[in-house]
Amino acid sequence: MTERRRATRGAYAVLAFPVGMLAVFFLVPFGIMVATSFYHRIEGAFYEPAFELANWQRFFSGVYMERTLFSIGISLFAGAVSIALAFPFTYFLTRMRRRPHVVLLVLVMSALALSEVIVGFSWTVLLGRSAGISNVLVWLGVMNESAAYQPSFFAVLLGLCYIAFPYCVLTLYPQLTRLDPEVTEAAQTLGASPWRTFWTVVVPICRPIIMAGFLLVFVFTLGSYLIPAFLGRPEHWTLSVFISDQATFNANVPFAAAMALFLTFLSLGVVALVMWIEARTRRIA
């Protein structure tokens, strides 16, 4: 008993440092941001401490509400697309022979080494008119003249999914590796074709991890501002782009703080909602 208690005290001591760091470098700035969102902005200058709801009012009245819905929409969409691509990919990856398995895994993971800036610029070039993919298609005789595929909604989605894909694979990989091959074989001996086995056994067993991967991409995409800024028109910009725009170019930090806070609570809300639905459906099933 005493052994246990001493161990717990030791654990607290170990935890003290990261908790302290978190408090100083996360909670305090977060508090400052909450305060800033109520500050008064001075046109042509900076801002001064005050308590007014002007920033929040502006947010709820303007185009920003519509941008918020768009941000959530594209994030959910990117999450769905990434998972839809990554799940079958990871499933077949884990069922491959050792060598191609490892090679492919390393390739996918190496994409993680690229920063969002590089990915964004690369896709700008690849989807552009002058040096993009369409030139290859023209050269092959598939197209008559080169075309630009960015800026567009498709380009934004592509960029976001490109970045999210390795994270999805990484999330799904451990569970799919552990999936007992005899479970899928059992389904087949019970009359399920490989396709039905996939949908009635593999996917349901992996549902919790699929939801986790989906949420990861959702949160990740909601905070992404480089890709939409590089590859989209203003109508494809997410709220994050507007936040950085307000903070850095318009020097309207109080308004940016209000928007950032709203986005934070919103993403927490969506995560909570999805987890609640997941828990509910699991209980019913």
Partner 1 sequence: MQARGGLRLQGLIKRFGDVTAVAGVDLELPPGKLISFLGPSGCGKTTLLRMIAGLEQPTDGRVLLDGEDITEQAPHTRDIGMVFQTLALFPHLSVAGNIGYGMRIRGVRGEDIRRRVEELLELVSMEGLGDRRISQLSGGQRQRVATARALALEPRLFLLDEPLSALDANLREQLQVELRLLQQKLGITTIMVTHDQRESMTMSDLVVVMTAGSVEQVGEPLEVYRRPATPFVASFIGRTNLLRGEGRDGSVTIARRPFDVDGAVTAAEVTVSVRPEEAHLSTGELPERNALRGTVVFVRDLGELFECYVDCGLGEPVVVAGSPRERVPVDQGAPVVVLFPREACVVVRG
Whether the link from the prior residue into 181 is cis, omega within 30° of 0, is no
198 binds partner 1 (CB under 8 A): no
CA 131, distance to chain mean position in Å, is 29
Whichever of 5 and 99 has its CB closer to partner 1, that residue is: 99
- Between the alpha carbon of residue 58 and those of residues 52, 109, 255, the distances in Å are 11, 42, 8
200 binds partner 1 (CB under 8 A): yes
String of contacts with partner 1 for each residue 29-48, x by CB under 8 A: --------------------
193 binds partner 1 (CB under 8 A): yes
The H or E element that residue 116 is part of is helix 116-126
284 binds partner 1 (CB under 8 A): no
End-to-end CA distance of the chain: 41
Residue linked to tokens 């694979």: 169
Residue linked to tokens 């909602």: 273
Q: Give the number of other CB atoms < 10 A from CB of residue 36.
A: 21
52 binds partner 1 (CB under 8 A): no
Nearest-angstrom CA–CA distance, 73 and 267: 12
196 binds partner 1 (CB under 8 A): yes
Whichever of 13 and 285 has its CB closer to partner 1, that residue is: 285
Span from 49-57, 109-117, 135-143, 186-194 in contact with partner 1 (CB under 8 A): 186-194
- Indicate which single residue of 27, 50, 53, 186 sits in contact with partner 1 (rule: CB under 8 A): 186
Q: Minimal distance in Å, beta carbon 283 to partner 1? A: 11
Whichever of 129 and 196 has its CB closer to partner 1, that residue is: 196
131 binds partner 1 (CB under 8 A): no
- What's phi and psi for 47, nearest 5 deg? -145, 165
The H or E element that residue 41 is part of is strand 40-41
145 binds partner 1 (CB under 8 A): no
- The contact set with partner 1 (CB under 8 A) reads 180, 182-183, 185-194, 196, 200-201, 204-205, 207, 285
